[in-house]
Chains A and B, each alone.
Chain A
Amino acid sequence: MTKTTDNNREGETLRLPGAAMTEPELDAWFVREVLPLEASLMQFLNRNWRDSSEVEDFCQDVYVKVYEAARNEPPTSVRPFVFAIARNLLINKVKRAQIVPIETASDLDALNIALDEPGAERSAIARDELRLVQSALDCLPRRCREAVTLRKIEGLSMREIATRMSISLKTVDAHLVEGSALLADLLYGQTDASRKKT
């Protein structure tokens, strides 16, 4: 499997609708087209699902379904495709639930609206990428941020970071793991709900 390398660079070519993607192309497509929608997807799920503790898992489920569906047939229009899947999952979940929350049921009727409006996500990211990454970095817990800064900005090795911060290698490792996980939420999620959790 070669799917884990340089996903951002691959799969930039224009693709005819209906042509299946290779695995690396699919990965690159997912990172490029779907992940930037996360903030509005989370917002959508938060608005339409009462239990906010479940929303993160819900988002993950939407991703899996999107990924699998795109494997068979890549969508020509990504945003409506993703939100249609989210909507179907919501409806299924509402149906399965013992008690249907009234707000949820009525909100679902309105879900078709505004699915087609182009998202501002991508242009915003292109414009302010550096600022976004930097402000995400600023949101990390102090020691974690320090380790990530030394790694990503100063380019130090983990051993050098351990020396610089006077901590064990294992702690450096833990800081970086925490940092990468939180950065994913900060860079893609960035809704109030996901901030609360981080």
Chain B
Amino acid sequence: MSDLSHQDRSLSASEVRNRAANWIVKRHDRGEWSDVDQAQLDAWIAEAPGNKIAYLRVEAAWKRADRLGALRRPPTVRNRFIPSLKFVAVTAAVAVVCGVYLSTTWHTIPEKTYVTGVGGHEMLTLPDGSRIELNTDTTLRIAESNTKRLVSLDKGEAYFQIVHDAAHPFIILAGNHRITDLGTKFVVRRSDDNLRVALLQGRAQFDTEDGRGKQLTTLNPGDVVVATATSLSITQMPSQTLTDELGWRRGLLVFRHATLAEAAAEFNRYNLKKIVVADSRIAQLNINGALREDDPQTFVRSMKTFFDIHVEERPDAIVLSR
């Protein structure tokens, strides 16, 4: 029946594939699916064994494409356009409108807070076309007035792709530092004791919030600023390094000659179950490669295979030792 040599084959494999694709989109994307539709689909599938196969195949591919989106935004909330608000993050999944107002700088501008948990990833599109991508464990607030666009990065890491508007400068506050966009792509990471800004494209200015430091610095592509409470350093990084560091935007951690300790620390940013390197002798092992940030198990397994490391699995941690 299904043999290629039969002359009564009415449809080629690619035609069957296209019909299956039609059913898939109708079922998953058109937003309406009735019992009648289901009955018709069942009838079509029953028509020929190849129909079921084609359906499974296209559906599996279409679902795999979903995974890409799942990284960017939890699937619980689909996009909601809220046209009544001027400054709306179109794709907000965890947006919470706060009644709280920030001190001095923010005055009376209403703000919205965006939070990602450990392993979270959020992409915001602003009405002006600017994009902000939140990495794991990040808190960020956005406010807009008639004269400026303000973002406060309270913790974590975010990637900014800002559409420049001289009339509405885009300003990011992080601790007592201020970054003013001049039409750019850059990434800002804030941890307990330091702030790191890497500029990928365009230009931006970096200074202290109140301008008192008089340390106005113009950043060019490749510049990386690291600021602590007492120090400020600017270095140039190759664009490959910066691109690697942005692997998280695709759900990947990219290591080039990282130590095991560094790699474990990176994984721990994204996972609640922490990797503990319990032995200083293995902490300096050299790691190369790209791994999924949500898959420390694969990482640990390959460590085990290549370096003959002892792995102890605890409920809250994976402990590595010799």
Contacts and interface: CB of A to CB of B under 8 A. Distances in A.
B34 to A, nearest CB: 15
A61 B22 CA distance: 21
Contacts of B49: 64, 67-68
Contact of B57 (A153, A184, A197): A184
A112 B9 CA distance: 30
Contacts of A76: none
B31 A158 contact: yes
Interface residues of B, number: 61
Contact of A129 (B4, B27, B56, B292): B292
B79 A160 contact: yes
Nearest to B78: A155
Contacts, number: 163
B24 A57 contact: no
A89 B1 CA distance: 12
A156 B29 CA distance: 10
Contacts of A186: 61
Interface stretch (A10-18, A99-107, A113-121, A171-179): A171-179
B13 interface: yes
A8 interface: yes
Contacts of B4: 54, 57-58, 61, 89, 93
B185 interface: no
B73 A59 contact: no
A61 B3 contact: yes
B41 A4 contact: yes
Given A127-B298, A177-B21, A7 B64 contact: no
A133 B65 contact: yes
A137 interface: yes
A151 interface: yes
B163 interface: no
Which one of B13, B16, B57 has the greatest number of beta carbons of chain A within 10 Å? Answer: B57
Contacts of A157: 31, 78-79
B69 A180 contact: no
Nearest to A125: B64
Interface in B262-313: 290-292, 298
Contacts of B292: 127, 129-130
B31 A57 contact: no
A130 B251 contact: yes
A81 interface: no
Which one of A155, A160, A178 has the greatest number of beta carbons of chain B within 10 Å? Answer: A155
A156 B79 contact: yes
A183 B50 contact: no
Interface string A155-193: 111101000000000000100111011011111100000
Contacts of A35: 56-57, 60
Contacts of B250: 130-131, 134
Contacts of B50: 60-61, 63-64
Given A130-B251, A177-B18, A158 B29 contact: yes
A57 B7 CA distance: 13
A129 B67 CA distance: 9
B71 interface: yes
A194 B67 CA distance: 23
A56 B91 contact: no
B53 A187 contact: no
B24 to A, nearest CB: 5
Given A126-B298, A180-B21, A133 B29 contact: no
B58 interface: yes
A152 interface: yes
Contact of A92 (B3, B54, B57, B72): B3
A96 interface: yes
A76 B92 CA distance: 46
A64 B71 contact: no
Contact of A4 (B14, B21, B22, B59): B59
B25 interface: yes
A188 B45 CA distance: 21
Contact of A153 (B2, B31, B68, B78): B68
B25 A30 contact: no
A60 B13 contact: yes
Interface in B27-77: 27, 29-31, 41-42, 45, 49-50, 52-69, 71-73, 75
B5 A63 contact: no
Contacts of B5: 92-93, 96
A67 B53 contact: yes
Q: Which are the 7 A-B pairs with shortest beta-carbon distances?
A: A181-B21, A184-B61, A60-B13, A64-B2, A31-B60, A183-B61, A184-B58
19 contacts: A4-B55, A7-B56, A35-B57, A57-B9, A57-B13, A89-B4, A127-B291, A130-B67, A131-B250, A136-B65, A152-B66, A153-B72, A155-B73, A173-B25, A177-B22, A180-B62, A181-B58, A184-B17, A187-B61
